[in-house]
Amino acid sequence: MNPANVSLAQLGMNDEGPVALIAAAAEAGFGAVGLPLRSGALRNLKVEIVGNAPLLREITAACRDTEVGVFDVEALVLGHLPPDDVLERILETAAKLGASRISCLGYEPLHGPGDIPPGGEAEKLSDICALATRFGLQVGVEFMAFRSIDSLSAAVDIITASGADNAGIVLDALHVQRTGARPGDIAALPSGIVSHLQICDASASAPAREDLPQEARGGRLLPGEGVIPLAAIIAALPAGTAMSLEIPVAALASESVAERARIGAASIAWL
């Protein structure tokens, strides 16, 4: 797999900031990056892009100078959305960055359903998608075993119920593995419903449910080091499906963002 056709996700790339990530991605040969505009874990971001006009200009210049684009931004959590005016600024910022999509997650039991009534997730997703349409954005629904949207079928159901034509599924290889989805399930998905695939690997043994968030945020493996059938998953997807590399790997914790990006690019050469 040529990294020029892959986006390098920020998660796992250290916290040296978006400009450093773009530079590292360019040096390693990636064609794009993913950037965080809001924390899916409902934490404060170390670097705030929304509302930071000088940084936004720096990012735009870095993308122009390196020819590395911004593929996607993260992450909205259903039930824990910001006020409407802040949400609009997030989507506006995503569009200014040139991103084509923003990810959307179910809530974690730890945080509860927030302001969503029972069965109300599809309606809330529909509202987000309607607003995202104004900014030319697709909304990628990512399922995780430890969130309210906890399976591939649950993601299909909520997207279908929302009626939104700019919603798609984010297939994170780790969450595909941990929820028991198989390449055949992916091949059988409705046409056009997949937004993109996030590539990583994982060990054969799954952690306890309460430890799944920790694995997702810092305990993954490089592609080829684990048991996820990555080649089969990719083969099950339509040709041209967008890909990103998301590798928060504990063994790389002491490495610079440039070295992590280089190692990441090398790790997908066999795919």
Q: What are the pLDDT tens digits along the chain (271 aa)?
A: 999 999 999 999 988 999 999 999 999 999 999 999 999 999 999 999 999 999 999 999 999 999 999 999 999 999 999 999 999 999 999 999 999 999 999 999 888 999 998 889 999 999 999 999 999 999 999 999 999 999 999 999 999 999 999 999 999 999 999 999 999 999 999 999 999 999 999 999 999 999 999 999 999 999 999 999 999 999 999 999 999 999 999 999 999 999 999 999 999 999 9
The predicted pLDDT at position 110 comes to 84
Instruction: Considering only the C-alpha atoms of the chain, give the largest distance between any 2 of them, rounded to a whole number of Å.
Output: 48
Dump pLDDT digits (tens) for 118-136: 889 999 999 999 999 999 9
CATH number for region 3-267: 3.20.20.150
**pTM of the complete model:** 0.97
Beta bridge partners of 104: 76, 141
Beta bridge partners of 199: 245
Beta bridge partners of 267: none
Core vs surface per residue 8-17: b (16+ CB within 10 A) or e: bbbbbbbebb
Q: Tokens representing 205?
A: 């043994």
Quick check: 105 and 78 in contact, CB under 8 A? yes
The predicted pLDDT at position 109 comes to 87
Radius of gyration of the chain (CA): 17
The predicted pLDDT at position 119 comes to 85
The predicted pLDDT at position 95 comes to 99
The predicted pLDDT at position 154 comes to 98
- Least Cα distance to 75 among 45, 54, 118 occurs for 45
- Rounded to an integer, what distance in angstroms lies between the CA atom of residue 261 and that of residue 161? 38
Q: Tokens representing 259?
A: 């070295």
The domain segmentation of the chain, as residue ranges, is: 3-267
